[in-house]
Amino acid sequence: GCASTLINFLVNCYYTVILGWGLHYLFFSFQSPLPWTLCDQWWNTDGCFSNTTEQVNRTQLDNSSTMGTDPSTEYWENRVLQISTGIDQVGNVQWELALCLLLAWTIIFLCICKGIKTSGNVMYVTATSPYVFMLILLVRTALLDGAKEGLIYYLKPDWTKLGDMQVWSDAGTQIFFSYALSLGALTALGSYNSFHHNSVRDCVLFALINTLTSLLAGCVIFATLGNMAKTANVHISTVAESGPGLAFVIYPKALGTMPYSPFWAVCFFLMLLLLGIDSMFGGVEGFVAAFADYIPIIHSDVRFRCGVVGAVCVVSYLVGLSMVTNGGMYIFQLFDYFSGSRIILVVGFLETIAIGYVYGCGRFTKNMRLMYGFSLGWAPRIFWCVITPCFTLRIKHLLKPRYSEALEQRLCESEATETNVKHNNKNGIATDCSGRNQLSFEVVDLLETTESGLDVLECATNDFPLKQ
């Protein structure tokens, strides 16, 4: 319980930063042309090329050693994040992102401060509106040239991938996170139900709706990626991207090519915002409910509850400020990797052991029969005692630090030219590794997330050994 509560707090802190990014993009979507489609702004570099200047700039780039970048990437890195050279260069708080983050936490506070009934009423809007926007975007993207190829690429299974344990690892981690398993949020929300409420039915509906929602969102994304691949005459795998880059680089780039692009951008980022806020209701409510179990006055006194919720939001906001600095993306990646994936699997493993072997499957089944009036049979016992513990333990074993071939060699003091130094700094990579004796795997993971991480390490020496 304590571990789940702590993880829930950490996830809330960094997940709301995504809402801050989404708010930034939403506010700047009310202009034409969209700012991430331009190459003549203060945040752009000489290597920027847009659709209107692509041919000219490509010719210039072919005659130079500079790698060109599209305006959506430069807007994300140089305008929104204003990313620094590394995690050791935290820099200043970006006031625009700080205000967006403050607005996100203010919305969350106002929606949940008075209790589950108020937030439940708000959820009728936040939980249903995104489906309207998704259906609108799906209809629009399905009419794009190349959308069919994108949907086929998305829906056609590659059975050979079933033999890749890394695929199982990624899928299992995503399931834990998307279903909020081992975070305590669903357990806390379920505590508001009556004793004999059929939670088994709710679990089945929740899993079904979550799966269908993911499928619908995937269709919207890959229909757009198919159009991008068809336009650029490349395979769709070359334009597909995961993580924040998909929502804040690839998809905005695609939106910028559509007619009436500001309208579609507003629809997309408003959908993203509503989905995020809806998820945060459960996360923050679950964290507050953990304290309410020990301080019952939180449930009975609205003023006291508002004070507790306000304190939680303020502390979470202050923690989140570290992720809206120049080096905030590196801190965000650390939060995401260590509090959003690895540790959740550990808690999930321990929970199944506690239910299956400490508390006992027999007692747990009797409790369920008392609550629901029926038994689930032997199948859940097999999952609680054997399948789920083994599966989570196996995935946890696969989630070990992964080094690229260049990073496995050694970190070096780069002999990059001034041009390459500027390019690397733009992408958030420090090219001077003097003063560092060892490179930990956390920093390795951060370097691997950037575009030019391999360029920085071309002249690797034996002076900087890696350490686990």
How many other C-beta atoms are found inside a 10 Å radius of the C-beta of residue 298?
Answer: 20
pLDDT at 247 over 90: no
Residue 365 has a pLDDT of 87
Residue 411 has a pLDDT of 33
Tell which of 324, 343, 359 closes a domain.
324
How far is Cα 69 from Cα 365, in angstroms, rounded to an integer? 58
Residue 210 labeled ligand binder: yes
Helices (H), 322-360: 328-337, 343-353
440: tokens are 């930990």
Tell which of 302, 324, 346 closes a domain.
324
Residue 458 has a pLDDT of 40
Residues 273 and 412 occupy one common structural domain:
no
pLDDT at 119 over 80: no
How far is Cα 82 from Cα 96, in angstroms, rounded to an integer? 11
Contact assessment for residue 239 and residue 16, using Cβ atoms and an 8 Å cutoff: no
Residue 57 has a pLDDT of 41
- How large a percentage of the chain has pLDDT more than 70? 80
Helices (H), 70-94: 71-74
How far is Cα 69 from Cα 249, in angstroms, rounded to an integer? 11
Contact assessment for residue 335 and residue 13, using Cβ atoms and an 8 Å cutoff: yes
- At residue 51 the predicted structure's pLDDT band, cuts being 50, 70 and 90, is low
Contact assessment for residue 97 and residue 80, using Cβ atoms and an 8 Å cutoff: yes
- The string of pLDDT tens digits covering residues 180-194 is 888 877 887 788 888
Average pLDDT over residues 130-136: 89
pLDDT at 346 over 60: yes
Residue 404 labeled ligand binder: no
170: tokens are 């990624």
Residue 391 lies in a domain: no
Q: What is the CA radius of gyration of the chain?
A: 24
Using a 10 angstrom Cβ sphere, with 0-12 exposed, 13-18 middle and 19 or more buried, the burial of residue 263 is middle
- Could you tell me the residue range of the domain that residue 447 belongs to? 405-467
Residue 355 has a pLDDT of 87
Average pLDDT over residues 442-446: 42
To 10 degrees, the CA torsion angle through 409, 413, 419, 423? 60
At residue 268, the 3 state secondary structure works out as: helix
Residues 297 and 151 occupy one common structural domain:
yes
Residue 95 has a pLDDT of 92
- The string of pLDDT tens digits covering residues 357-380 is 888 888 888 888 888 888 787 888
Residue 275 has a pLDDT of 87
Residues 304 and 444 occupy one common structural domain:
no
pLDDT at 311 over 90: yes
Residues 285 and 420 occupy one common structural domain:
no
Residue 223 lies in a domain: yes
Residue 259 lies in a domain: yes
Residues 311 and 427 occupy one common structural domain:
no
Residues 283 and 418 occupy one common structural domain:
no
Residue 434 labeled ligand binder: no
How far is Cα 169 from Cα 174, in angstroms, rounded to an integer? 9
Residues 109 and 229 occupy one common structural domain:
yes
Residue 206 lies in a domain: yes
How many other C-beta atoms are found inside a 10 Å radius of the C-beta of residue 357?
Answer: 12
Residues 67 and 180 occupy one common structural domain:
yes
Residue 143 lies in a domain: yes
Residue 358 lies in a domain: no
- The string of pLDDT tens digits covering residues 8-43 is 899 999 999 999 999 999 999 998 889 999 888 889
411: tokens are 């970190």
Contact assessment for residue 325 and residue 91, using Cβ atoms and an 8 Å cutoff: yes
Residue 72 labeled ligand binder: no
Residue 326 has a pLDDT of 92
Residues 54 and 162 occupy one common structural domain:
yes
Residue 441 lies in a domain: yes
Residue 454 has a pLDDT of 42
Tell which of 294, 324, 354 closes a domain.
324
Residues 291 and 415 occupy one common structural domain:
no
- At residue 320 the predicted structure's pLDDT band, cuts being 50, 70 and 90, is very high
Q: What total of structural domains would you count in the chain?
A: 2
Residue 194 labeled ligand binder: no
111: tokens are 């929606």
How far is Cα 414 from Cα 276, in angstroms, rounded to an integer? 40
Average pLDDT over residues 251-261: 86
- At residue 396 the predicted structure's pLDDT band, cuts being 50, 70 and 90, is low
- The string of pLDDT tens digits covering residues 398-438 is 665 543 332 333 333 333 333 333 444 444 333 333 333 33
* Mean pLDDT score across all residues of the chain: 78
Residues 309 and 169 occupy one common structural domain:
yes
Residue 41 lies in a domain: yes
Residues 87 and 176 occupy one common structural domain:
yes
Check residues 460 and 246 and name the one with the higher pLDDT: 246
